[in-house]
Amino acid sequence: NAGVMQNPRHLVRRRGQEARLRCSPMKGHSHVYWYRQLPEEGLKFMVYLQKENIIDESGMPKERFSAEFPKEGPSILRIQQVVRGDSAAYFCASSPLHTQETQYFGPGTRLLVL
Amino acid sequence: DAKTTQPNSMESNEEEPVHLPCNHSTISGTDYIHWYRQLPSQGPEYVIHGLTSNVNNRMASLAIAEDRKSSTLILHRATLRDAAVYYCILQNSGNTPLVFGKGTRLSVIA
């Protein structure tokens, strides 16, 4: 039973480019969360999605960031026109529909903006 | 979500028990107490959770005070692989985002 998968594990972008981060939840999980961890800081919630719906995006920056979780395929976190301050580890977590909501985290994508 | 308070860091000798405290004096009656840990360069990992009664699993034990204003994560025999940042998190209802504080950085000395 594969865990949460994220790819790429490491991503290098130049300022102004786009970054696409992918997250495949555990089998049977329909809830996906994205968190960001800036260097030497704790994890901060960004967005919570169910299939084809954004449930809570209160932690998402208003500009340049978007997320989706289509009916088929992985969840995508997209960052347009990246800036150096976007350099961070981005973690995805998934949880099943009907439990007391343990979240299972992926290994993260480490984004470096040059 | 209610706030939790944890020591910034703790140290333990290998193969000794470790007691990681967490204060949550403003906990509500429906808040569950969750513990996650994050090993270096990895994503967070669920450790244990409980509501009122003490809980045990293969990784750890969770002791919850009778008034629920504090809890303690107990690692019965620390190993070098237990060196991580441990987060105590309150979660009120299902499928809500986790609110991570700074956690406790546990160092294990051989």
CB distance A45–B98 less than 8 Å?
yes
Q: Which two tokens stand for residue A79?
A: 């960052």
A73/A43 Cα distance (integer angstroms) = 25
Q: What is the pLDDT of residue A3?
A: 92
Chain B residues inside the 8 Å CB shell of A103: 44, 46, 98
Q: What is the pLDDT of residue A100?
A: 57
Of B4, B18, B2, the closest CA to residue B84 belongs to B18
In this predicted model, what pLDDT tens digit does every residue of A48-107 receive, in sequence order? Answer: 999 889 999 999 999 999 999 999 999 999 999 999 999 999 999 998 876 556 899 999
What's the CA angle centered on A105, arms A113 and B68, to 5 degrees?
120
Q: Which of A31, A102, A105 minimises the CB distance to B43?
A: A105
Q: What is the pLDDT of residue A42?
A: 86
pLDDT of the residue at B10: 97
- Collect all residues of chain B within an 8 Å Cβ-Cβ radius of residue A4: 43
Phi and psi angles of residue A64, each rounded to the nearest 5 degrees, phi first: 75, -20
Q: What pLDDT score was predicted for residue A96?
A: 82
Please give the average per-residue pLDDT across A31-35, as a whole number: 95
Contacts of B45 in chain A (CB under 8 A): 105
- Is residue A43 within 8 A of residue B100, CB to CB? The reply is yes
**Taking the C-alpha atoms of B39, B105, A59 and A64 in order, what is their torsion angle to the nearest 10 degrees?**
-60
Distance from the Cα of A104 to chain B's closest Cα (Å) equals 7
A 18-77 near B (Cβ less than 8 A): 31, 33, 35, 42-45, 48, 56, 59
> Distance between terminal CA atoms of chain B?
37
Q: Compute how many other C-beta atoms are within 10 angstroms of the C-beta atom of residue A53.
A: 9
Per run of 10 residues, the mean pLDDT along chain B (length 110 residues) is 88 96 93 94 94 92 96 96 96 82 95
Judged by a CB distance cut-off of 8 A, whether residue B100 touches chain A is: yes
C-alpha angle B25/B59/A8, rounded to 5°?
95
